[in-house]
């Protein structure tokens, strides 16, 4: 009995121990499982939070997208409106510009018409002032045509006359010669062919013909038969050198040369030796020179002025030949008659313009009969002789 009780107590003790161990294991399992579940719960909460953040982000993106689409539509509409406004403004400006062009053309036509009327009125009013030129509106002699033969010229420039022999000398620059006609327009001879390249100025004095050559930068002294007796060929800008001389005048054993590109007048003796120069600082591209009553007259092409000098070369005055009253755009040569009237070929105006000795425009000659008149010479007070350039290439006598 005692043994059985002992065994029973022992069995009870082992059972209690088993139950306690089992309960402890269950508690540990439950604790570990709870911890795992809590971790899972935290993960689920985190995932839920991420999902909420993602949803918020998606919502924000959707809202931003709608806002951007709305803004883009608004901007696109504004851009289209601006482009349309610019197009309308451009069309309006083009219409204004065209209207201004039409108005300018109408104004130009009115001005041209007014200028013609003023010129006609001036011609009517001024013919009585210079009666010696009243009837000289059309040439009485017209000779030469474009070519290389007899009584043919190409780009004629200066002309000079030998009154005693009734001969006219023409600087036929395009044909590299001096062509000689009588004052009736008939061919006499040609000279200078062997020496000249592009003669520009020509002057007859004391049985000799003095010629400038703008291409050779030279001055020649020829006999009437064309024999060259003297020459000055010294290109440059120093004293005694020439650069594109255009015209010349001979008086009192002195040869006055328009040294055009050097902006001065060179003075030579009749053997063509340099003596002096004048006009620097006053002349801009001088192209023609005349001497009357102890005064030197010089025409300058660049500023289109007439200048006066003493015989010693002292500058006295300058007179512009442009403006509303004078209306000469470019002139190359001129003449002075015995009454002090100034006669200037006006190439762009296609006429000869006569100024009184107080330099007011008094007469217009040759309108509608001249084409780019260039050179001019007076055969006494009875004849005005001019050379015409370009298409006509003729010599006309008034």
pLDDT tens-digit readout, 55-80: 676 677 777 767 776 666 666 667 77
CA distances from 108 to 55, 96, 102, 114, 320 (A): 77, 18, 10, 10, 24
Choose among 294, 292, 296, 299: nearest CA to 246: 299
For 113-125, give one letter per residue: b (16+ CB within 10 A) or e.
eeeeeebeeebee
The pLDDT of residue 11 is 73
For 226-248, give one letter per residue: b (16+ CB within 10 A) or e.
beeebbbeeeeeeeebbebbbbb
Classify 378 as helix, strand or coil: strand
pLDDT less than 70: residues of the chain: 1-2, 48, 50-55, 57-58, 65, 69-77, 81, 99, 102-103, 106, 108-144, 322-329, 368, 380-383, 388-394, 396, 398
- The answer for residues whose C-beta is within 8 angstroms of residue 352's C-beta and 6 or more apart is 343, 344, 345, 346, 364, 365, 366, 370, 373, 376, 384, 386, 398
The pLDDT of residue 153 is 84
Q: What is the dihedral of CA 373, 395, 161, 361, to 10 degrees?
A: -30
The pLDDT of residue 125 is 45
The pLDDT of residue 112 is 63
Q: What is d(CA 214, CA 257) in angstroms, rounded to the nearest whole number?
A: 11
Confidence (pTM)? 0.66
The pLDDT of residue 21 is 79
The pLDDT of residue 128 is 42
């Amino acid at each position: 009995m005692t043994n059985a009780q002992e065994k029973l107590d022992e069995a009870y003790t082992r059972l209690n121990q088993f139950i306690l161990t089992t309960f402890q294991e269950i508690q540990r399992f439950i604790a570990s499982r709870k911890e795992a579940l809590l971790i899972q719960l935290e993960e689920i909460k985190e995932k839920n939070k991420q999902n909420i953040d993602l949803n918020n982000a998606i919502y924000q993106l959707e809202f931003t997208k709608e806002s951007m689409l709305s803004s883009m539509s608004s901007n696109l509409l504004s851009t289209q409106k601006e482009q349309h406004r610019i197009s309308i403004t451009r069309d309006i400006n083009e219409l204004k510009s065209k209207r201004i062009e039409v108005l300018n053309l109408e104004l130009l036509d009115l001005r041209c018409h007014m200028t013609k009327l003023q010129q006609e009125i001036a011609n009517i009013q001024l013919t009585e002032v210079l009666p010696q030129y009243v009837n000289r509106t059309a040439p009485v002699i017209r000779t030469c045509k474009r070519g290389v033969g007899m009584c043919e010229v190409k780009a004629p420039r200066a002309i000079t006359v030998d009154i005693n022999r009734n001969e006219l000398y023409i600087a036929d620059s395009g044909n590299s010669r001096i062509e000689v006609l009588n004052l009736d327009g008939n061919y006499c001879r040609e000279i200078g062919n062997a020496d000249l390249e592009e003669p520009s100025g020509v002057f007859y004095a004391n049985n000799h013909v003095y010629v400038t050559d703008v291409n050779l930068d030279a001055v020649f002294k020829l006999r009437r038969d064309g024999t060259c007796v003297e020459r000055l060929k010294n290109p440059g800008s120093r004293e005694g050198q020439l650069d594109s001389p255009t015209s010349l005048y001979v008086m009192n054993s002195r040869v006055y040369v328009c040294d055009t590109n050097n902006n001065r007048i060179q003075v030579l003796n009749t053997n063509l030796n340099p003596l002096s120069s004048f006009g620097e600082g006053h002349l801009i591209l001088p192209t023609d020179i005349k001497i009357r009553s102890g005064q030197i007259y010089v025409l300058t092409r660049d500023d289109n002025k007439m200048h006066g000098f003493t015989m010693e070369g002292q500058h006295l005055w300058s007179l512009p030949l442009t403006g509303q009253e004078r209306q000469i755009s470019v002139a190359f040569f001129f003449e002075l008659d015995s009454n002090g009237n100034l006669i200037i070929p006006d190439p762009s105006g296609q006429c000869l313009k006569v100024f009184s000795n107080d330099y007011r425009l008094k007469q217009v000659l040759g309108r509608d009969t001249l084409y780019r008149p260039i050179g001019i010479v007076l055969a006494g007070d009875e004849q005005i002789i001019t050379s015409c350039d370009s298409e006509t290439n003729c010599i006309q006598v008034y």
